[in-house]
Structure formats: structure tokens, C-alpha cells
Amino acid sequence: MSEELLEQFLNYLSIEKGLRPKSLEAYKRDLQDWLGFAAKRGRLVTGPLTDSVLSLFMVDMHDKGLSPRSMARKSSALKGFYRFLLREGIIDKDPTALLERPRIGRPLPKVLSRQEIELILQQPNLSNAYGLRDKAILEVLYATGIRESELIGLNLHSLNTEAEFLTVVGKGGRERIVPVGSYAMTAIREYLLKGRNSFCKNITERTMFLNPLGKPISRMGLWKIIRKYALMAGIKVEVSPHIFRHSCATHMLEGGASIMAVQEMLGHVDVSTTQIYTHLTAKDLKNIHRSAHPRGKLQRSD
């Protein structure tokens, strides 16, 4: 009976939902685990107290060491299966209604140390146009934390040289002002004065960072530039524009910037997105507590 219901559900997913064979196989494996678990306990998957046995099943999966992602997938398969049975009139109550989907923690972003960033920034050869351009790109990415698409979209009007800030167009067309800092500002000036003309083929072209054809650098071109200098610096992890963004945010927070300031600078709509950068270790927190809290460490009474 249970296997027949599973086949009906898989046929529904294939015909009505158009799921691919690999997805169907994943559903089948997850639901067969559940059917086997219920059968060992002498329970029908459509019988009474199914909800309590489902909870035991999820606990058992956790005890077997399944990751939150795998458990979340099984939970989704179970919910879909029982919604189908309810819609078909095979059951009159959804036993998964109160079944919580395990939370999948957001992985911490990869971050380079300040020393690693410094090594990368030292690599471009400033005696030629390519080096001047690449130095400016790297300095801007680290100084501002802007996204790769935002850097590619920068034009000459984006830069305010006197106030030393960029006007960046982010997601949803939202504009924001981002400070550049003296190091990045110096690199930009050098590139604009001595390097950009070597790439520019059309005097009407306003894009800031150009490729040898005089066109805006591509996303792939930007990645190649960053990987090139990371390899030259001996950085073993794969470095991307987003790692520069993560590193900028993390180093600012470590330096004492408020999370709201970093949120504004990165263009995050929700502060919870920025909070992924506040990944202080337990040791960091302990040291901060000891130095900052009036009762953080025992006072000596000599």
C-alpha cells in the first residue's frame, strides 16, 4: 500500500510538475527512508499518530548525523508527499503540518587576512597601463566593498575626486555614496592620468575600467585579474571579487565600524545580511569581555 502511494506521488511529480529524473530519484530515496522507518515500527504511513512517528523519524535522522541541509530536503519531501495524499482524499489530515523544517545555517563568507590583501595589492606592475588599471581595480574593491557588477558599471561621472567618494548603482537601481579612501583614490588618479588612454578607443566612452578593446571589462575578465594577482601573491584559496567585499566588511567591523555603517556602505537592504560578517570567535569575544567588562577579570588584591 505504502509503495503504491509513493509511486502515485512520483508519477504526479513527473507528469504534473515535470520534475527531472534526478529530482524524482532524490524524492524516492528520501520517502523510502521514511516508509522503511514506519514499517519497522509497524505503523502505516497513513495511520493514526503518524505525526508523532514523523517526529521520531526526524530525530533518528539527526542522530545518524545527517546535515541540516539533508534533513531539510527530507522534510520538504515528506510535506510534499502528504499534501498530495490530502489533496487526493487519501488522508483527511496533514501529519506534517507541525513538522518544522530544519534551519540551514548561512555559511560564513571566506575572508582574507589584512596581510593577504596587502600582498595582493602589491603585485601589479605600475610601470604599464595594465598594472595601473589592475591596481586601481584591486584598491577600489577592497576600499569600498562594492559588488563586481557595481565595479564594472562605474563610469567617469561616478567619481567625485574632491570629496573622494563613488556614486554606486546597486541592486534594484538603488544609488548610494561610498567613500574611497586615500590609497584607492591615489590608484584611481594614476590610472586615469597614465593608463586609461591606452585602453580607450572612443573618446565618448565613459566607462571607468576598460579592456584592451576599449570596452567595459567583463565579469570573467575581472575574475581573471583577481586570480592572477592572488596566485602571484601565493594565496592558496580561490580569490574572487566577493572575497574582497567580505574582507572589506570584516576588516571594517574589526576596526570598530558600526554594523549600520557597514550595511549602508555595502548597500544591504536588511541588516541581517550584514550580520554574517560579525563572526567573532569565542576567543575574540572572551578577550573583548575581559578587557571591556568591569567584572571581566579578577582583580588582584595585593
User: Which are the catalytic amino acids?
Assistant: 147, 171, 242, 245, 268, 277
Name the residue type at position 176: R
SS3 sequence of 112-147: CCHHHHHHHHCCCCCCCHHHHHHHHHHHHHHHHCCC
> Per-residue DSSP letters for 8-63?
HHHHHHHHTS---HHHHHHHHHHHHHHHHHHHHTT--TTSTTHHHHHHHHHHHHHH
User: Cell numbers of 26, please?
Assistant: 532524490
* Angle at the Cα of 259 from the Cα atoms of 257 and 260, rounded to 5 degrees: 105
DSSP summary character for residue 207? B
User: Cell numbers of 4, please?
Assistant: 503504491
Q: Which residue has the cell 584592451?
A: 212
Structural contact between residues 212 and 134, judged by C-beta atoms closer than 8 angstroms = no
Least Cα distance to 223 among 102, 127, 138 occurs for: 138
| Helix or strand run (H / E) with residue 165 | strand 165-169
